[in-house]
Amino acid sequence: MNRIKIKDKEFTISITGEQIQREVKRVADEINRDLAGKNPLFLSVLNGSFMFTADLMRNITIPCEVTFVKLASYQRATTTGKVKEVLGLSEDISDRTVVIVEDIVDTGLTMERLLETLGTRNPKEIHIATLLVKPEKLRIDLDIKYVAMRIPNDFIVGYGLDYDGFGRNYSNIYTVVSENE
């Protein structure tokens, strides 16, 4: 399927499932090499990263654990504005090597808040593994160690990512077709 329609928007294929699998395997190989002997705890941020997490973990061959969290954002009257609360993290991460598994880093604000929150729980180290980065949108100086793919600043769906709840099920990634195309 080269073109899909979700609600009012048309999308066209931009990254095939084969390309994704190749890059996910490459990232897994890097992690296997870098974090051997560290028993990393993979922290998958739902919902968007469920497919990436599944495929990444299938290629991780070192001893490790995986857990799943959700982020709830709520407004707080501080200078930092929105606060991300981490829901569902029952594991003790103190003195652990943590790998955050994210679907996409856009402005980087979500990741910055997540790092702040996790940092208060005394992990030994935190690494970021993301399927996608939009470098043109990145507003924060983040040390993103593991990136499967860098993409232009367009809205995408598929492979876990949604438009209004739909589109997460596709094994390819699709980019929105602009109105004048």
Question: Closest CB to ligand 5GP among 36 and 72?
Answer: 72
Among 86, 147, 155, 171, binds ligand 5GP (CB under 6 A): 155
For ligand 5GP, how many residues bind (rule: CB under 6 A)?
15
Residues of span 17-76 touching ligand 5GP by CB under 6 A = 48
Tell me: does residue 161 bind ligand 5GP (CB under 6 A): yes
Cβ atoms of 146 and 31 closer than 8 Å: yes
165, 160, 156: which is closest to 55 by C-alpha? 160
Stretch that binds ligand 5GP, among 22-30, 31-39, 83-91, 150-158 (CB under 6 A): 150-158
DSSP secondary structure of 67-89? EEEEEEEEE-SSTT-EEEEEES-
Tell me: does residue 107 bind ligand 5GP (CB under 6 A): yes
Smallest separation, CB 110 to ligand 5GP (Å) = 3
Within 10 A of 46 (CB to CB), how many other CB atoms are there? Answer: 16
Q: List 4's β-bridge partners, or say none.
A: 11
How far is it, in rounded angstroms, from Cα 110 to Cα 125? 18
Active-site residue, from 8, 29, 55, 106: 106
Question: Closest CB to ligand 5GP among 36 and 87?
Answer: 87
180, 173, 181: which is closest to 152 by C-alpha? 173
Tell me: does residue 101 bind ligand 5GP (CB under 6 A): no
Is 29 among the catalytic positions? no
Among 13, 109, 147, 177, binds ligand 5GP (CB under 6 A): 109
How far is it, in rounded angstroms, from Cα 174 to Cα 102? 18
Tell me: does residue 128 bind ligand 5GP (CB under 6 A): no
Copy the structure tokens of residue 122.
């005394």
Tell me: does residue 105 bind ligand 5GP (CB under 6 A): yes
149, 163, 164, 143: which is closest to 100 by C-alpha? 143
Active site positions, annotated:
106
